[in-house]
């Protein structure tokens, strides 16, 4: 130990001696030589980055001001719930624009009035749905009711959020009544199972579930199919030990599969044309038709298998739409 301390002391002494013996004139001469290169690097790289940052800052400022009046109207009306919804929606839309360059195609397929059942593919974490929900609040001025897995109601700390957004575990009678009152209702039939055990091939995992179709038929409401391109690339569930995690989930309903990512891939949401009510259809037929419509959106707009790298490139290249 004493030998190590001696070596460290000698090294420090040598460095101090070297610094003390430096010629101040030499240092000044050296700095005068490299100053032009420093200014060149500053002009070549740092200043353009500053201009880019200022451009994005200006864009963000204008973007937020675009929604300023909406928020002011909500708060001035003393409607705390509505003001809260609008504030959260602006936050999510800002996040979607910056982190994922989110676009929504087919927003006009969400009715301005009257009922509709939005049925969508469930990604590992449905951030795409948060983005869509926010845009519908901001641009259609409609609040969607949400049917969610019962597991969410057991998570501590979510009670206020679930209450505010009128999230329901979704009995058939409750959902039918909401639609008959003219609400927009959203549901992912695949739920947590699809979120955890689908993959970058975007397999729809609905099993025998057709409750949503029964709801739509009884309420005489249209079904609106929805899919978001690259939603499975933004966040992914761990691909290892799937059989083990699937076994645990089926036995306990505990979603233990780890999720990773939040990659800034390009997200585009496609809202398909509504499937109108047809009394001649059975719930099983309506379920199959809805599944086929979502699969059509996947096959038309999603690169299969999905790729995180390609999803990142989609941020800077134009979309080449597949032909029908």
List active site positions: 122
Hey, which residues does 77 pair with through a beta bridge? none
Phi, psi (rounded to 5 degrees) for 121: -75, 135
In the sheet that 116-120 helps form, which strands lie side by side, from edge to edge? 103-105, 268-271, 223-229, 116-120, 184-187, 144-147, 167-168
Radius of gyration of the chain, Cα coordinates, nearest whole angstrom: 27
- Kindly list the distances between the CA atom of residue 251 and the CA atoms of 190, 242, 264, in Å, as whole numbers in the listed order: 17, 14, 34
CA dihedral 146, 118, 129, 101 (to 10 degrees): -150
Name 147's bridge partners. 168
Strand partners, 104: 269
């Amino acid at each position: 130990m004493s030998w190590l301390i001696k070596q460290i002391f000698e090294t420090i002494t040598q460095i101090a001696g070297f610094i003390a013996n430096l010629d101040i004139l030499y240092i000044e001469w050296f700095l005068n030589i490299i100053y032009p290169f420093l200014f060149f690097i500053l002009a070549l790289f740092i200043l353009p980055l500053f201009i880019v940052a200022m451009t994005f800052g200006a864009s963000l400022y204008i973007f937020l001001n675009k929604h300023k009046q909406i928020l002011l109207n909500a708060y001035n009306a003393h409607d705390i719930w509505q003001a809260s919804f609008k504030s959260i929606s602006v936050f999510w839309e800002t996040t979607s624009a910056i982190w994922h360059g989110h676009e929504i195609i087919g927003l006009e397929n969400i009715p301005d009035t009257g009922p509709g059942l939005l049925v969508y593919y469930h990604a590992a974490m449905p951030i795409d749905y948060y983005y869509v929900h926010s845009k519908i609040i901001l641009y259609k001025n409609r609040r969607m009711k949400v049917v969610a897995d019962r597991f969410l109601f057991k998570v501590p700390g979510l009670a206020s959020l679930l209450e505010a957004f009128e999230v329901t575990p979704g009995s058939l009678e409750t959902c039918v009544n909401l639609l008959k009152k003219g609400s927009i209702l959203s549901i992912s039939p695949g739920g947590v199972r699809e979120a955890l055990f689908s993959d970058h091939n975007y397999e729809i995992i609905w099993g025998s579930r057709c409750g949503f179709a029964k709801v739509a038929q009884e309420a005489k409401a249209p079904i609106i199919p929805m899919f978001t391109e690259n939603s499975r690339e933004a966040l992914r569930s761990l691909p290892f030990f799937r059989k083990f995690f699937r076994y645990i989930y089926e036995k306990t309903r505990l979603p233990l599969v780890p999720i990773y990512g939040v990659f800034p891939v390009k997200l585009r949401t496609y809202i398909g044309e509504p499937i109108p009510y047809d009394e001649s259809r059975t719930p099983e037929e309506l379920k199959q038709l809805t599944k086929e419509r979502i699969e059509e959106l996947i096959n038309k707009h999603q690169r299969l298998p999905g790729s995180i790298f390609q999803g990142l490139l989609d941020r800077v290249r134009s979309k080449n739409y597949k032909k029908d």
